[in-house]
Chains A and B, each alone.
Chain A
């Protein structure tokens, strides 16, 4: 396959009579190693090779991108950065501030990308007045996945508030169904918690308390109530949750053993792989919220500074490939997310993705497109770590909500 790509690249490049580029490669570090992720990446690579560049793959899997980040730091320390790197959360902002990333301002203005991306994600694309990365996709974190047969059998309506969700869950528990598929893994508990905070407090409260780390908001009754709700959820997750993988929890919902799971849209692939269809076999709806919101995660690529003209040309081609509307559509149909661009047609996407896309349009207008905490977009890692510690400890012990809030404030202040 690679040989074929090179061949294709060479012919295209020759026909365009820029043979100098025929030899050019673009090296990139990323952590997409799952089958669908590799397939999705191929869409971008194919587009890149049309421009006469070959892709040198430096995939580093594991630890949700933690290992890839380590690989990058080692390469940078050795003075040998890759041409491009998948940047997660605050990683890109930090590298941009260190001056390691190229400014992509010219590309953004020339190609009209500035208006093609939601303004709410600009924080992860731009630092000190310079665009430093290009986003390929957007995942939504606050989805709930439900088994439709279970919902029909026990006559459960889609919950609009957390109270409704808990009432329905109690009903299911009585009937002998595990209401909520969850694990005691820290990040899964934190996903639940952030959906509760955003849902009960609203997007503005989320922005003040979580993103802004405002001490008064962190100590507020809204926060205490969020912990109370999490405590109620704990009673509804069934037995033997220790160390349960998220995908195992998803398959519990798929099989009807459990009714719902709160998880980002990567869970959709698990249903689709079992041949289940959205709306018919499984349901997707946003986590209950008093004001509709959309918790986002993006994957973006930054370009590292280099003096090599060939590499520079490759970086431009890579950035253009990522921002190509057709590439974004194809990529995201495979990956399960939605395009980062707001001007891509999603008519060929499945029902859940279409709903996500429409919800995002609404959230952009209302200013309720909020960064995900668990995956590291709401606050930098030292603070996200405190949330994870306190929420997980609260979940597995008998800690009171008041004590949890005190521990949260103390931890955040200690990490400042």
Chain B
């Protein structure tokens, strides 16, 4: 009897590691090995097929001399910042409204969350029609009698990127709302009551107490939305296909086109590495600070 306890302990000690090890192997091979492989390819002269030579940073020079890549990078910043800000503000606003103990909350929540159930291809195709001046909003408003009304952003090289933002916000706002709503439900109502007794108005309570307490929810939303925006490949492809011209090109579509359509695997790999570095530069410090602070508090 007394000997079986250490064995049990040992099993208990190894079991989690044993269970986790296959997924660790998969992640290691599927993610980190291929990150390393991509970096290697980005330093080679690969064109249609991988070639394992070394040309230094030549592919990066070529990448940054491509005007289309500059458009893609600018678009990524415009898209990511607008998409994050608008989705978070709108999602938070909806969550606060829904938190006011409204009737049929379940139904409303489902309605707002539904777009998330669609794939970006569907969203992109639907919004392509909605935003098309001869089919969608503009046509409807014109037919209603307001003939001078124009909403043709999708045809304009300058404004088309904002159409991508609109479609992405529509898709993801419900999702942000759901996370914020869960966060709001987790806040102890006695804190709010205490604040009310102190004489604080509702706006003040939200601004100074509730929103700061939603910090973990913000972390989840920011991380998840940033990754959606980086991989916004299918949305762009379905909505504008990178057009008009190449004005809604994104790094992800650029990477795909270079690698698989234009036989420039080296350039494609270089753009993938640039994307990885951009994401790492933003997400890693943010995660680090958030997780560190969280560790101190508890």
Contact = CB atoms under 8 A, between A and B. Distances in A.
Interface string A388-416: 01001111110000000001001100110
Interface stretch (A198-206, A236-244, A308-316): A236-244
B263 interface: yes
Interface stretch (A47-55, A119-127, A207-215, A378-386): A378-386
A281 B61 CA distance: 54
B243 A184 contact: yes
A239 B139 CA distance: 13
Interface stretch (B64-72, B97-105, B115-123, B279-287): B64-72
Interface in A90-122: 90, 94, 98
A8 to B, nearest CB: 39
B48 A94 contact: yes
Contacts of A397: 157, 245
A345 interface: no
A97 B210 CA distance: 66
> Interface extent on B, as a size class?
20 to 34
Nearest to A64: B261
B243 A186 contact: yes
Contacts of B242: 186
A385 to B, nearest CB: 4
A241 B152 CA distance: 11
B241 A185 contact: yes
Contacts, number: 83
A66 interface: yes
B134 interface: yes
Contacts of A70: 260
A396 B66 contact: no
Nearest to B154: A242
A70 B261 CA distance: 9
A416 to B, nearest CB: 10
A63 B242 CA distance: 14
Contact of A184 (B65, B128, B244): B244
Contact of B244 (A69, A396, A411, A414): A396
B-side interface mostly: loop
B78 interface: no
B154 A66 contact: no
Contacts of A73: 49
A92 to B, nearest CB: 12
Contacts of B49: 73, 94, 98
Contacts of A94: 48-49, 263
B229 interface: no
A254 B32 CA distance: 55
Contact of A385 (B128, B243, B257): B257
A392 B264 CA distance: 20
A66 B261 contact: yes
Contact of B62 (A392, A394, A414): A414
A186 B245 contact: yes
A410 to B, nearest CB: 8
> Interface extent on A, as a size class?
20 to 34
Q: Which of B157, B242, B262 has the most CB of A within 10 A?
A: B262
A410 B68 CA distance: 12
B226 interface: no
Contact of A243 (B47, B132, B260): B132
B155 interface: yes
Interface in A209-265: 239-243
A392 B245 contact: yes
A389 B244 contact: no
Interface string B258-279: 0011111000000000000000
Contacts of B67: 389, 407, 411
A385 B157 contact: no
A394 B246 CA distance: 10
Contacts of A411: 66-67
A63 B262 CA distance: 13
Given A184-B244, A381-B262, A392-B246, A414 B155 contact: no
Contact of A414 (B48, B66, B257): B66
Contacts of B261: 63, 66, 381, 385
Q: Which of A239, A394, A395, A396 has the most CB of B within 10 A?
A: A396
Interface string A163-203: 00000000000000000000011100000000000000000
B75 interface: no
Contacts of A184: 155, 243-245
B66 A243 contact: no
Given A381-B261, A381-B263, A393 B245 contact: yes
A240 B133 contact: yes
Given A411-B67, A414-B65, A382 B246 contact: no
Nearest to B67: A407
A393 B132 contact: no
B247 interface: yes
Contacts of B245: 184, 186, 389, 392-397
Interface string B37-52: 0000000000111000
A69 B66 CA distance: 25
Contacts of A380: 263
Given A243-B128, A397-B245, A382 B155 contact: no
Nearest to A239: B134
A70 B263 CA distance: 11
A392 B257 CA distance: 16
B262 A382 contact: yes
A392 B154 CA distance: 15
Given A243-B128, A392-B246, A393-B246, A382 B154 contact: no
Contacts of A392: 243-246
A34 to B, nearest CB: 20
Contacts of B48: 94
A73 B263 CA distance: 12
Interface of B: 47-49, 62, 65-68, 128, 132-134, 154-155, 157, 240-247, 257, 260-264
The 7 closest A-B pairs by CB, nearest first: A240-B134, A396-B244, A393-B245, A396-B245, A242-B155, A385-B262, A392-B245
15 contacts: A69-B260, A70-B260, A94-B263, A240-B132, A240-B133, A242-B132, A243-B128, A243-B241, A384-B262, A393-B157, A393-B246, A395-B245, A396-B245, A396-B247, A414-B62
